[in-house]
Amino acid sequence: MSDSTISPAAPPPGDNAGGQPGRARPSAMRLRFQAVSGTLASIPITLFGLVLVTFFIGRVVPIDPVLAIVGDRAPQDVVEAARLRLGLDQPLYIQFWNYLGQILSGDLGTSVMTSNPVTQDIARFFPATFELATVAIIIAVVIGIPLGVLAATRQGSWIDQLVRLFCLAGHSLPVFVLGLISLLLFYARLGWAPGPGRQSIFYEGMVDERTGMLTVDALLARDWGAFVDALQHLAQPAGVLAMFSLAYIARMTRAFMLNELKSEYVTTARAKGLSSFRIVWGHAFRNTAVPLVTVLAMTYAGLLEGAVLTETIFAWPGLGQYLTVSLLNADMNAVLGATLVVGLIYVLLNLLSDMLYRLLDPRVK
């Protein structure tokens, strides 16, 4: 029998289709575990880089933390003693190592401005920023996504042009300009909105602080007068803060929807006689929601970090105002601590958006 008549032997167990023995194709569960492990492993590296950058920025800025503690007119021996006590006479790498160990132990130092631990100050001021940013992102999502979908389905019409003009205005006007215009119009001229701050003087101290968010605390206490007052004070800064995010979300939603509406499956759905509502919201928007998750997560992180000007204009006692006042008072422990918190928020929200992306889109391994 010739060699040409011999049938090829079946590949032994463990061989893959490519003819490479011993290399079985990894399962979907293993691939998912590797992806999640890689994402989780990148968090400590990112946080270490954030700590490194913030530490050296705090040392490079022309602000002497020792003078901020003892004062400009303190004797030289007092200044040197304070510098020695804080460890600022040591090399930078030793200072950074000590600072890293201090952070890992949960100690961000003591605030010069309040004489309290920075972690305690952040825990007291952050709920106000969280409340403001959460209401702002809800406004931006509820209005921005329908506007973007409407503009995409009416491409080239006057509605589309109006939405694009609105998005352009939202990106062009700075937040502090919108805040000042809002105060001048609705508070000073029309008298529709209350003044700056989180609540009126009449309601101060009437609601026990449980979460640090006045609207939630008022609801838990069932104090409807305090709840309405907190909402009235929250409306202006939240609306101003939501303006930029609303424009960005609407613009990105429009771009994503235009890309989906040109797909073949949309043409097939229309040929089958499906209604426009089902095509837009049941098919196209479902695919749009996948990349939109990342946009919303990063926008929310930007609101938590970018409320500095809004909180300053409206005298909102949140983390942004705390950071601004600390920087003006050369309180570097407070500045670095608040910066690290903001960076940690970015990292966690980025991780959350990555996990949701993988969960919503089964094609992502």
Domain boundaries, the chain: 28-104, 126-360
Q: What is the CA radius of gyration of the chain?
A: 28
Residue with tokens 């800025």: 61
The span from the CA of 198 to the CA of 315, in Å, is 8
Token couple for 225 = 């007068």
Distant-in-sequence, close-in-space partners of 322: CB < 8 Å, separation ≥ 6: 121, 122, 125, 334, 338
Q: Model-level pTM? A: 0.77
Cα dist from 240 to 132, 169, 200, 313, whole Å: 10, 13, 20, 11
Report how far Cα 231 is from the mean position of its chain's Cα atoms: 22
Greatest Cα-to-Cα distance within the chain, rounded to the nearest angstrom: 106
Token couple for 14: 């463990």
d(CA 155, CA 157): 6
d(Cα 253, Cα 257) in Å, to the nearest integer?
6
The amino acid at residue 65 is P
The pLDDT assigned to 32 comes to: 60
Q: Which two tokens stand for residue 309?
A: 């000007």
* Tens-digit pLDDT profile for residues 229-270: 888 888 888 888 888 888 889 999 998 888 888 888 888 888
DSSP state of 187: I
User: Which region holds residue 14: left if phi is over 0, alpha if psi is between -120 and 50, else beta?
Assistant: left
CA distance 301 to 323: 16
What region does 15 belong to: left with phi over 0, alpha with psi -120 to 50, or beta? beta
The C-alpha torsion from 172 through 178 and 180 to 186, rounded to 10°, is 150
CATH superfamily placement of domain 126-360: MetI-like (1.10.3720.10)
Higher pLDDT, 212 or 16: 212
**pLDDT (tens digit per residue) in 317-333:** 888 888 888 877 777 78
At 104-163, the pLDDT tens digits run 888 888 887 787 888 888 888 889 889 999 999 999 999 999 999 899 888 888 988 898
